[in-house]
Structure 1
């Protein structure tokens, strides 16, 4: 799981990216815009609306290339062009299916694998250049690529979008250091316990390598100095006090789950992860390349099971901090399964204690007032849930919340 934020109900996803547009923040299955409610009776109009919403989201999330292509693709859908042929059978797919992002990913995969050289000239991820002042320049080559590669693109559309955004490790590390500080305050002096890290909705398992990443912002750095993954601009303003001078984490066990895991060490898996990144966001490309290099020498097992089944096999352990973490994945889990997962999290909390601590960390969208905000929460043992920080959906940057912020009372 994990991918780009999806501009429809339920609210977004890794799957993926920094404040969402109002139309996206407000979208929910039970509170859709009048346009989407009307067009749901006409599949192609529904698809056009979804592409337009996703284009709006991409524009606000810093990908003008993706926004420009999706706007023109929406017009092509309405006109019955190659894009309409590409998504045939998916016209009335719900927003979380992210058909627009699947089409972008399919074409990007062709570009970065050398099968669309004319379009590659416009894709920064393939060494090309995109000029926001001339946003329509890539469109003819994009449309031609869709028309020429229609069978391949239609097969790709059966894949769920997954980016495994490693920027979210910024929040995981923030939560880990907070938990270690809380444990140190309770236990007094002594070495911090090693970490057993378990992730729900792991995708390719890249964030299970989080302690190997380096977070950097103005006057601040945390993580190995020689890391191939640098999470630049990690904090807007001052980072939390507990991050300053915090010891590095030592992970002694790691594992995750995902209904459809990706093998980051395979050529096909690496291509899928790269394809679902937005082609004009080169820092994300660099972070992913570094994480793939780490994964090649430090594998993190990801089981092809759901969250509840996975958690049934997790136990706390003496002498180690057991961590369950997830980011922007709850919206994809059926309600009944998530209730079972929450019961397992409550079990782990009840089984934990001073010698076998447990913390549940999450970066998930939460409705606060009229909009959704991406909040890092932590629950240590059976204690209360604390709101530690807020972030863009990709995890970068993050920031602390001021006193009186209504999000602090949202749990």
Structure 2
């Protein structure tokens, strides 16, 4: 029964990959499911990991491990068919190479199942940075106020460098440095009204229970391995963001959400920002409730001289079939802590579409 559950999970993930634009993984995963049920090498590799395939994202752990071998040059036959490695995306060739890899690198792939997927979606910077620009352009805060950015679920900290990326809206208007190696085309329905030309970020701090240093070769390889190999635009964005990480420092902490939030305090002369994207679902109910209360406590200490902004791109009610971008601003005003839905984004962040009018969160 356990193997049947794993096979079902593989098929469910295949459908998700098809829907989210990875036809290669959508084709490989049913083949892995069939091989598993036939007692092939897939069954041998996943032995001991059968109990929580869905919550553990077992299929993506396995494919991420194989992708990592290909990216590092240790699986050239598979790399020949992965676009991320310059390959041809041939499904039959990729399956043949992957099937052999399951035998030849069984122990390596078994070890890979211990690593949870961490993709650090750079596209979500469009929602987070765009949300910040919307608030800065809204008149409640001086748009030139220095900004401190704190991120929950930061992974490799790439979204902490969001102000160093270039964004183009649906009409071709741009924001951000013209020479940035990261260009988020079609990032927004429109550049946020009143957005300053630049954001003066004076502090970047990220929290994760398992942070990855994107400025190291090992960290960069791990992040790239969890990007689906036929999604070349996502891979190009990630590679560009890794380049930015080498020259723009950020401090990453191995810490869970609640103690990280509890240590944040507004600072006079700066706008303190806490943001996060598609991570709240991974916090247990008790910690989530305590974390939400801790965020409100930070807001209670905010003033006009030391404002605090909480920005999120989380599942919410998924109005308009996406992830709401929600802002809660405390600045010593009558509307302190009132949630505003600024817009909506897909899971990978691009395109973020701004709301025409405020809606209750």
Q: TM-score, normalised by structure 2?
A: 0.94
Counterpart selection for 1:78 from 28, 37, 44: 37
CA deviation string 1:273-320 (max 9, x = no partner): 010011011111111111111111222111101011111111001111
Mapped contact 1:270–1:292 kept (Cα < 8 A) = yes
* C-alpha deviation, 1:372, in angstroms: 6.1
Number of equivalent positions? 355
Aligned to 2:118: 162
Hey, what's the Cα distance between the residues in 2 that align with 1:354 and 1:345? 17
Higher RCO (CA 8 Å, separation ≥ 6 residues): 1
Counterpart selection for 2:179 from 223, 226, 231: 226
Mapped contact 1:240–1:400 kept (Cα < 8 A) = no
Where 1:178 maps in the other structure, the secondary structure is helix
Hey, what's the Cα distance between the residues in 2 that align with 1:328 and 1:256? 15
* C-alpha deviation, 1:66, in angstroms: 1.1
Counterpart selection for 1:200 from 152, 171, 174: 152
* C-alpha deviation, 1:137, in angstroms: 3.5
Hey, what's the Cα distance between the residues in 1 that align with 2:323 and 2:55? 17
Hey, what's the Cα distance between the residues in 1 that align with 2:291 and 2:53? 24
Where 2:316 maps in the other structure, the secondary structure is strand
CA deviation string 1:161-209 (max 9, x = no partner): 1011111011111111122123xx246xx66201000000100111111
Hey, what's the Cα distance between the residues in 1 that align with 2:92 and 2:325? 38
Where 1:207 maps in the other structure, the secondary structure is helix
Aligned to 2:333: none
Hey, what's the Cα distance between the residues in 1 that align with 2:288 and 2:68? 33
Task: Name which of structure 1's ranges 51-60 and 293-302 shifts more when overlaid on structure 2.
Answer: 293-302
Aligned to 1:44: 3
Where 1:175 maps in the other structure, the secondary structure is helix
CA deviation string 1:142-174 (max 9, x = no partner): 111111100000011101110111110111111
Aligned to 1:338: 288
RMSD after superposition: 1.8
Where 1:234 maps in the other structure, the secondary structure is strand
Hey, what's the Cα distance between the residues in 1 that align with 2:162 and 2:134? 15
Mapped contact 2:160–2:250 kept (Cα < 8 A) = yes
Q: Judging changes above 3 Å, is the alpha-carbon distance between structure 1 residues 261 and 241 closer, same or farther for their aligned structure 2 residues?
A: closer
Aligned to 2:166: 214
Q: Judging changes above 3 Å, is the alpha-carbon distance between structure 1 residues 282 and 375 closer, same or farther for their aligned structure 2 residues?
A: same
Structure 1 regions of 5+ residues with no counterpart?
Answer: 1-41
Mapped contact 2:205–2:251 kept (Cα < 8 A) = yes
CA deviation string 1:249-289 (max 9, x = no partner): 11001101100111112222111001001101111111111
Aligned to 1:399: 353
> For residues 88-103 of structure 1, what are the structure 2 equivalents within 5 Å?
88-103=47-62
* C-alpha deviation, 1:241, in angstroms: 4.5
User: Does structure 1 residue 144 correspond to structure 2 residue 88?
Assistant: no
Q: TM-score, normalised by structure 1?
A: 0.83
* C-alpha deviation, 1:240, in angstroms: 5.5
Task: Name which of structure 1's ranges 57-66 and 82-91 shifts more when overlaid on structure 2.
Answer: 82-91
> For residues 348-387 of structure 1, what are the structure 2 equivalents within 5 Å?
348-368=298-318, 373-381=322-330, 382-387=336-341
Hey, what's the Cα distance between the residues in 2 that align with 1:49 and 1:100? 11
Mapped contact 1:215–1:234 kept (Cα < 8 A) = yes
Hey, what's the Cα distance between the residues in 1 that align with 2:130 and 2:163? 11
CA deviation string 1:8-60 (max 9, x = no partner): xxxxxxxxxxxxxxxxxxxxxxxxxxxxxxxxxx2111111111111100111
Mapped contact 1:365–1:372 kept (Cα < 8 A) = no
Aligned to 2:252: 302
Aligned to 2:130: 174
Hey, what's the Cα distance between the residues in 2 that align with 1:335 and 1:361? 20
Mapped contact 2:173–2:191 kept (Cα < 8 A) = no
